[in-house]
Amino acid sequence: MSDLKISGAGISQNALQSKVSGSEAGAGFDAVLKDAVGKVTEVQSEAERAITELASGGDVTQAIIAMEKADMSFQTMIEVRNRLLTAYEEVMRMQI
């Protein structure tokens, strides 16, 4: 079978590997999840700041962009959780 090569939009495979190996080398699965949840929380905090700035005369487009980023990151986190639960349920159904 031939090798299937998938490349991200503007992200080289080496950059992706170095990012994963550099920031998460030796980190446990729980540490990776905590880091991801922390980043989602940070994005939501930025959205709240943008909304507060909007209330005091800030830029509408920046507030909308921040809110959409927060929404997308939260939806991604929910989807990851759903997939993890599905995988856990499948493992639990396996017979030993």
Q: What is the mean pLDDT of residues 48-76?
A: 93
Q: How confident is the model at residue 25 (pLDDT cuts 50, 70, 90)?
A: low
Q: How confident is the model at residue 58 (pLDDT cuts 50, 70, 90)?
A: confident
Residue 65's pLDDT is 94
Query: For the chain, which residues make up each domain, given as ranges?
Result: 28-93
Q: Is this structure's pTM higher than 0.95?
A: no
The candidate with the shortest Cα–Cα distance to 46, out of 28, 32, 58, is 58
Residue 29's pLDDT is 85
**47 touches 69 (CB < 8 A):** yes
Q: How far is CA 61 from CA 2, 41, 54, 74, in A?
A: 46, 21, 9, 20
| Paired tokens of 69 | 């980023």
Residue 96's pLDDT is 80
- Return the higher-pLDDT residue of 28 and 2: 28
